[in-house]
Amino acid sequence: MAIPIQRTQDQDRAAQAYKDVCAVPKPSVAEKYKSLVRSAPADIQTNGLGQSVAFWRAKGKDEHNLLYQHVNAWIRNKMKLSNDLHLWIIDQTTSSDQYRRATVEALAYLGWLKRFAEAEITDK
């Protein structure tokens, strides 16, 4: 009888981050995406998750949209959100504890996204 293998949350983050980075269109968006992903954790720590998400959505460029889509999908899945991340952040029923949890999860996911972007996306 085989013992079921349980994956850690960090393994789940790594697997999704790798999948997301590998799906980035190359090379048109990839280098800009890589640069954006490198700065995303610091942006969140400096400005907050809400401000960073709003910035990515406002820019409207392919790499910003792609990063938002990746973080949005990850946080929606992990926190079982019914709305997109930006709508959930501004929802009056979202507690500060939930917001902090989403921020911590986004930073953990972005750590893996950054590592894989640096490994898989080559510079010119």
pLDDT per position as a tens digit, 40-88: 999 999 999 999 999 999 998 999 999 999 999 999 999 999 999 999 9
- Asked whether residue 119 carries a pLDDT value surpassing 90, the answer given is yes
Contact 21, 116 (CB under 8 A): yes
Q: Is the peptide bond before 41 cis (omega within 30 degrees of 0)?
A: no
Q: What pTM does this model have?
A: 0.91
User: What DSSP letter does each residue of 9-66 carry, written as one string?
Assistant: HHHHHHHHHHHHHHTS-TTTTHHHHHHHHHHHHHHHHHH-HHHHHHHHHHH--HHHHH
Q: What is the pLDDT of residue 124?
A: 64
pLDDT per position as a tens digit, 79-107: 999 999 999 999 988 899 999 999 999 99
Q: What is the pLDDT of residue 5?
A: 75
- Asked whether residue 29 carries a pLDDT value surpassing 80, the answer given is yes
What sign does the dihedral 83-86-87-92 (CA atoms) show?
A: positive
Interacting residues of 91 by C-beta distance below 8 A, sequence separation 6+: 83
Interacting residues of 112 by C-beta distance below 8 A, sequence separation 6+: 10, 13, 14, 16, 17, 18
Q: What is the pLDDT of residue 92?
A: 86
Q: Which domains does the chain have, with CATH numbers?
A: 9-120 (1.10.520.30)
- As a whole number of angstroms, the longest Cα–Cα distance in the chain is 53
* Integer Cα distance of 40 and 52 in angstroms: 8
- Asked whether residue 108 carries a pLDDT value surpassing 70, the answer given is yes
